[in-house]
């Protein structure tokens, strides 16, 4: 089993969806990712928060095989704050408030033992910070997985491209992929990314409620979203998917495209845990047997 290092955001959110509203709940890409990944493998956590971040969430992470020596708490500082309201279809949302606070000057600090992590997940943060983390690692990890978003693609496209070129697996949603390539079809956009980034072992394209698409340039894989009767809160779904995905790869120590397919299924399942409740509530409790049972359910639903 491999160890995973995640470097990403830590936040406190106010979230409103058609299912209700919550205030001052934990969020951030690194938090969602690590809770999902820890269902499968140990995680080393690097992030920054203010003293207002809930101690009970840090305690939960430590109980879940998440090492928090790299989690910096700034005394008298305020944690990154975000507030959003989702539309009825849950595919669109309005950002009502964004306050960077201590995240504005985030300089990832990697404890020496973290540099030995075999898998690195560069969560959705500034691409210059993602590149800085790669430099700080010393030797290159066995597997580098990266993520980004439309804001960075707009504001710093060159550095985003540099991160992708140094990654083994790149995770992105379909609209961001089109923005990044200038294509109008996500399949042709995926082909273009793989042509331009020779190190990539796989590209994972998140398709929201339609599932995901994965390709290594030779083989292709399409997976529908895990069927749910209701979605409560889609915040963090992508990071939870990435956590389950990377966690399964770490657990099995197999980075072949065949195993990447299976990792996509487990990622979809952990994302379904996340969206079943507000914030990280759906990721707090889990049962490994239930996850494997849902994997078999997924297999039966997609077999013909």
pLDDT value, residue 164: 96
Give the strand pairing for 80-86 and 93-99.
antiparallel
* Long-range Cβ contact pairs of 100-107 (< 8 A, separation 24 or more): 101/50, 101/77, 102/48, 102/49, 102/50, 102/74, 102/77, 102/78, 103/9, 103/10, 103/11, 103/48, 103/79, 106/47, 106/48, 107/132
Helix extents (H) in 38-126:
55-63
Query: Region 64-81: what's the mean pLDDT?
Result: 96
List beta partners, residue 220: 215
pLDDT digits (tens, 9 = 90+) for 27-62: 999 999 999 999 999 999 999 999 999 999 999 999
Structural domains of the chain, ranges and CATH numbers in brackets: 4-11+29-47+109-301 (3.40.1190.20)
- The CA angle 196-208-217, to the nearest 5 degrees, is 25
Strands (E), 51-127: 66-74, 80-86, 93-99, 119-122
**Angle 288-301/257-275 helices, nearest 10 degrees?**
110
Asked if 247 and 258 count as a contact pair (C-beta separation under 8 A), the reply is: no
Confidence of residue 292 (pLDDT cuts 50, 70, 90): confident
The Cα–Cα gap between 133 and 271 comes to 26
pLDDT digits (tens, 9 = 90+) for 250-264: 999 999 999 999 999
DSSP 140-189: PPSEEEEE--HHHHHH-HHHHHHHHHT-SEEEEEHHHHHHHH--SSHHHH
User: Is this model's pTM higher than 0.75 or not?
Assistant: yes
pLDDT value, residue 77: 95
pLDDT digits (tens, 9 = 90+) for 159-196: 999 999 999 999 999 999 999 999 999 999 999 999 99
Average pLDDT along the chain: 94
Close Cβ partners of 16 (under 8 Å, ≥ 6 residues apart): 84, 85, 86
Asked if 200 and 190 count as a contact pair (C-beta separation under 8 A), the reply is: no
């Amino acid at each position: 089993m491999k160890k995973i290092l995640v470097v990403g955001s830590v936040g406190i959110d106010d979230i409103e969806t058609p299912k209700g509203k919550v205030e001052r709940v934990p969020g951030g890409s690194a938090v969602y990712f690590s809770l999902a990944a820890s269902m499968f493998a140990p995680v080393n956590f690097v992030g920054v928060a203010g003293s207002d971040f809930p101690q009970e969430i840090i305690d939960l992470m430590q109980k879940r095989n998440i090492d928090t020596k790299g989690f910096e708490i700034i005394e008298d500082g305020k944690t990154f704050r975000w507030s959003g309201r989702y539309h009825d279809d849950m595919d669109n949302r309005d950002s009502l408030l964004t306050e960077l606070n201590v995240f504005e000057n985030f300089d990832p600090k990697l404890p020496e033992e973290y540099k030995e992590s075999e898998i690195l997940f560069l969560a959705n943060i500034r691409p210059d910070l993602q590149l800085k983390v790669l430099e700080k690692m010393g030797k290159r990890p066995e597997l580098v997985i990266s993520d980004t978003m439309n804001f960075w693609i707009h504001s710093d496209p060159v550095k985003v491209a540099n991160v992708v070129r140094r990654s083994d697996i790149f995770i992105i949603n379909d609209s961001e992929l089109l923005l990044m390539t200038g294509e109008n079809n996500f399949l042709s956009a995926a082909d273009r990314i793989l042509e331009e980034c020779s190190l990539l072992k796989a590209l994972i394209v998140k398709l929201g409620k339609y599932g995901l698409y994965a390709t290594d340039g030779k083989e292709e894989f399409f997976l529908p979203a895990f069927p749910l009767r209701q979605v409560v809160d889609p915040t963090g779904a992508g990071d939870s998917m990435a956590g389950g995905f990377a966690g399964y790869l770490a657990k099995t120590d197999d980075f072949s495209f065949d195993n990447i397919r299976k990792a996509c299924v487990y990622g979809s399942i952990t994302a379904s845990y996340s969206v079943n409740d507000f914030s990280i509530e759906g990721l707090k409790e889990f049962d490994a047997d239930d996850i494997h049972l849902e994997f078999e359910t997924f297999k039966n639903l997609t077999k013909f």
